[in-house]
Every structure is written in structure tokens, then in C-alpha cells.
Amino acid sequence: MSGRKWVARVILTVVALAGLAVVVAVVADRAILVYCRMNLRSQDPARRRRGLEHISFYHEARAMPELLSVLATEQDRGLLELAGRATMRTGDPSGVATLRRRADEGPDDAVHANLIYCAARLSDRDLRLLDWLAAGAQSAEPWRRAGSAAGLLELGQPVGGLLLIECAGDTDPAIRGFALEQLRRTAGPVTEAIGQPITWPGQTTQPSDETLLAHAQTVWQRCVTVQLLNDVLNRLRYRDPDWYELGRLAHARERFAWLFK
């Protein structure tokens, strides 16, 4: 066999193998999606959980009809919360209405707050939710207030940060924990952006430091604007090439700082 024919056969073999790999990958992906949908339709809570965890981990939006059916009908509060987070992680705004409806059903617990937060986050700052969240922030239900405060922050409304700072001083350690988690996630980068970083405590069993909360409230009222908050939210949610390169440079500087000592 001549060298030219041998090379041609090698190339054809490689192309064939590459095509086979693509076909296998497509078939496997389809099979996994079908299995995920079957799990979501199952009467077995353990199987529904597996389906929800798969969607949440892979941000899988192709099973949206089955996911919304679970979100609309699930009675187990733990699975309902997982369904809410999975819906949020798909990035498909068609889930906002169902999230809002389930949040309005109550009862007033941590799941209630998380569903409100997920609806606001999934809406991608849709101001049509503003009246709903503003009313919730004035509710007599403590978890609804906390969830609505987090939702207002996700909508790019600075008042949400002030309300969460208030919730961080709540007597209920679970509500404090929820508020502090939201503040670390969003308010933390905001205060870093203005050069006045606030270290939010990770320990929530003890009452919050009133001095820290008063300082945070002052900084927030004095420095945080709608534009600043929305700029930070954009940076957190969408990959900006300039911020990405700055992050790489900062990481490289920290990694190789020993060279310059």
C-alpha cells in the first residue's frame, strides 16, 4: 500500500470515529433527557428529586413542561423548594408565573422566602414584579418580608439591601441566616465595588452585631445607587470580558506574588 493511500485511510478512519462519537453523544444526551423527564413524572419522590437535581446541576431547560408540572403540584415542601431552585437555574422566564403563584400559596416558611427570591432572580429584573415584592416587604409574615427584600435586591432596587440588613438583625436565627446569605451573595460585591467592603458573619446562631448592621446601613444609604447596584448585578450574572481579564490578572498576581518578594 502506498503512503498516500495509507494516509487517506487513516484520515477516513479518524473522520468516521469522530462522526460515531458525535452520534453516540447525541443519543446519550437524548436518553438522559428522556430519563430526566420520566423521573419528573414519577410518583416516587426519590425519583422526582433525582430529576430536579439533574435539572438544577445542568441548567437543563428542555424538560420545562415536566418541571413546571412538578413546581405547580408538588406538596412536599423540600421538593417544592428544590423545584423552585431548579426552575430558576434553567434561566427560562416562563417559570416566573408558576413560582409566583406557589409563593403566594404559603405557608410562611423558608420555602416561601426562597420561592419569592427565585421568581425575582429568574425574571431578570422584570419590574412588573416590583409592586408584588414591595407589598411583600411590608407584609406581617416574616419570611415573606425576607424573601421580598431579597427579591427587591435581585430586581436592582437598593431598598432591598436596606430591608435585608434589617432582617439580618431578626430574633429568628433562620431568618438571620437567610438574610446574611443574600447579603454575602449580592451586597458583599456591591460594597467591595465602592471600596468599603463589609464582612458579613457566617455564624447565624448568635445575634447579629448591632454596630456592624448600623455601619452597613449607613454605607448602603450613603453610597449605593440604582446604577451601581445594577452594574454589580450585571457583573455577577453576565461574563464581561474586561472583568474576566482583570480577574485573571488578579489571580496571577496572587499566585506568583512570591517572585516579587
Tens-place pLDDT, residues 185-219: 999 999 999 999 988 887 666 777 889 999 999 99
pLDDT greater at residue 198 or residue 27: 198
pLDDT bucket at 35, cuts 50 / 70 / 90: confident
- pLDDT of 125 reads 95
Nearest to 224 by CA among 257, 254, 198: 198
Mean pLDDT of the chain: 86
Contacts of 178 (CB under 8 A, 6+ apart): 110, 113, 143, 146, 147, 150, 167
Residue with cell 448585578: 233
Cell matching residue 199: 464582612
- pLDDT of 260 reads 47
Cell matching residue 189: 460585591
Q: Which amino acid is at 30?
A: R
Instruction: Kindly report whether the peptide bond that precedes residue 107 is cis, defined as omega within 30 degrees of 0.
Output: yes
| Distance in angstroms (rounded) separating the CA atoms of residues 239 and 50 | 30
pLDDT bucket at 39, cuts 50 / 70 / 90: very high
Give the mean pLDDT of 116-134: 97
pLDDT greater at residue 49 or residue 13: 49
Buried b (16+ CB within 10 A) or exposed e, 219-241: bbeeebeeeebeebbeeeeeeee
| Distance in angstroms (rounded) separating the CA atoms of residues 251 and 253 | 5
Cβ-contact 95, 122 below 8 angstroms? yes
| Distance in angstroms (rounded) separating the CA atoms of residues 208 and 179 | 11
pTM of the full structure: 0.81
- pLDDT of 200 reads 85
By percentage, how much of the chain surpasses pLDDT 70?
79
- pLDDT of 75 reads 95
